[in-house]
């Protein structure tokens, strides 16, 4: 999903990574600059 958002021109604030508690997450910015966290298990 992060790649798709990047291809659509959104800013990627944090590339996909595994967090300390085992979740997979990345952070993007919407066109207005709001942070959106993508989280999966």
**What phi, psi does 34 have (nearest 5°)?**
-75, 140
Place of tokens 């085992």: 22
Q: pTM above the 0.85 mark? A: no
Of the chain, the percentage scoring pLDDT greater than 90 comes to 98
Instruction: With cut-offs at 50, 70 and 90, classify the pLDDT of residue 41.
Output: confident
Q: Are 28 and 16 spatial neighbours (Cβ–Cβ below 8 Å)? A: no
- What's the pLDDT tens digit per position in 13-34? 999 999 999 999 999 999 999 9
């Amino acid at each position: 999903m992060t790649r798709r958002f990047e291809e659509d021109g959104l800013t990627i604030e944090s590339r996909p990574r595994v967090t300390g508690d085992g979740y997979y997450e990345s952070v993007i910015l919407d066109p207005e600059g709001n942070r959106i966290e993508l989280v999966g298990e």
